[in-house]
Structure 1
């Protein structure tokens, strides 16, 4: 089973930059997208063989998640029952026989951490939601989580310390999530690997210089870690300021 996560930074724009070509050659059973920036039906998305599930923000052209899947889910949930967190289309959950797939686009804490209080509320609410699912069956949680967990996860940790995505508060929440029974698949598989990122600023030739951040994740219930075959950060794939991440599992 192969699952892809990709922040496409506007799906309609990404379609003009190779989205279909990547999707068709990826061999993915499920493709989880973040920051679709569109409502369902605003474009005719042509992915033969895939069912489409969407969670769009109330505000048009903003945020949004989608999952394209070859396997019909048992159930689909477009919110996570936490008041105040369901208007931005940030979480989409598909239930399967052996696991839950949770596709998420975590809110950015913004410049000078203007939205950090909301981000902390979000982290606590989502962790509680994931733990509730995990009591029933294992969880595969993926998406743009908008945090580089450790210094190894970004090119310039010292100059970014305290900035959105690398604040002590956000990093601590990631630690808390992992300590509650989950693993960061890439770091578990490749604990010492450096220079591998999933997002690069459009400024300062960041991608050409590989001055990036690893903020796109697969996080799974610890009890299924042995089902992971491999995880790939596809930094050779363009079309967005993020690259796709591919997870191979046998469940």
Structure 2
């Protein structure tokens, strides 16, 4: 099974930059988006009859939002964390027979760190939520987690220490999550691979010089470790300030066509 995650930073803009070509080329069974920046009815995507579309829109226009396009028929879909709704559209949970898929766009602490307390509180709730799911069946988590966990995960670690996305507090929450029984699939498979990033600033020449951060992830329950096939970061794909990340994993789910 192949899964793809991409922060598109505005789906309507990304569609104009070749989204559909990337979607078809990557050919995922589950394709997850963050930062769709849409409201209901603002876009129609012809993904083909085999894909079901699930959207979680933010109440604020042009902000946040997540989506999942699935070849698999889920048993249930949840739009939020504790309740089946949350105002920023940051999460979708799809339940399948053998696993849960959680697509998430983690809140940014903001440049001045004014949202760091909320971010840390979110992280604690998120970890508890994943552990509740994991008690029932394995979990696959994907999305923009807005943190570079290790120094290997960004270009200029020393210069960025303490900045949003690389504070000790945010990195510590990722450490807690992984310590609670989850694997960072890319780092698990490629523990020493550096210079591979998923986000670059729009400032001139930054992407060309590969001054980036790895903040987009696939995490899985540790019980799925032996079923991992590969994890990839598609650095050459443009259309957003993020690039897609993917996971291939051996799972028993059957694709159910519409």
- Map of 1:68-217 to 2, 5 A cutoff? 68-81=69-82, 86-217=86-217
Taking structure 1 as the reference length, the TM-score comes to: 0.98
Whether 2:233 is the aligned partner of 1:233: answer: yes
Which residue does 1:60 correspond to in 2?
Answer: 61
> Matched residues in 2 for 1:120 and 1:205: separation?
32
Cα deviation digits, residues 98-153 of structure 1 (max 9, x gap): 00000000000001211000000100001000000000000000000000000000
Cα deviation digits, residues 2-21 of structure 1 (max 9, x gap): 00000000000000111000
> Matched residues in 2 for 1:120 and 1:236: separation?
32
Q: How far does residue 86 in structure 1 lie from its aligned partner after superposition?
A: 1.5
Q: Does the Cα contact within 8 Å between 1:82 and 1:125 map onto a contact in 2?
A: no
Which residue does 1:50 correspond to in 2?
Answer: 51
Q: How far does residue 204 in structure 1 lie from its aligned partner after superposition?
A: 3.5
Whether 2:227 is the aligned partner of 1:224: answer: no
Whether 2:243 is the aligned partner of 1:243: answer: yes
Cα deviation digits, residues 56-93 of structure 1 (max 9, x gap): 1011110000000111101000011169x821000100
Q: How far does residue 236 in structure 1 lie from its aligned partner after superposition?
A: 0.9
> Matched residues in 2 for 1:43 and 1:27: separation?
21
Q: How far does residue 212 in structure 1 lie from its aligned partner after superposition?
A: 0.2
SS of residue matched to 1:240: coil
Task: Note the aligned Cα RMSD (angstroms).
Answer: 1.1
> Matched residues in 2 for 1:111 and 1:197: separation?
20
Long gaps (5+) in structure 1: none
> Matched residues in 1 for 2:195 and 2:15: separation?
28
> Matched residues in 2 for 1:26 and 1:116: separation?
35
> Matched residues in 1 for 2:182 and 2:208: separation?
33
Long gaps (5+) in structure 2: 252-258
> Matched residues in 1 for 2:72 and 2:222: separation?
24
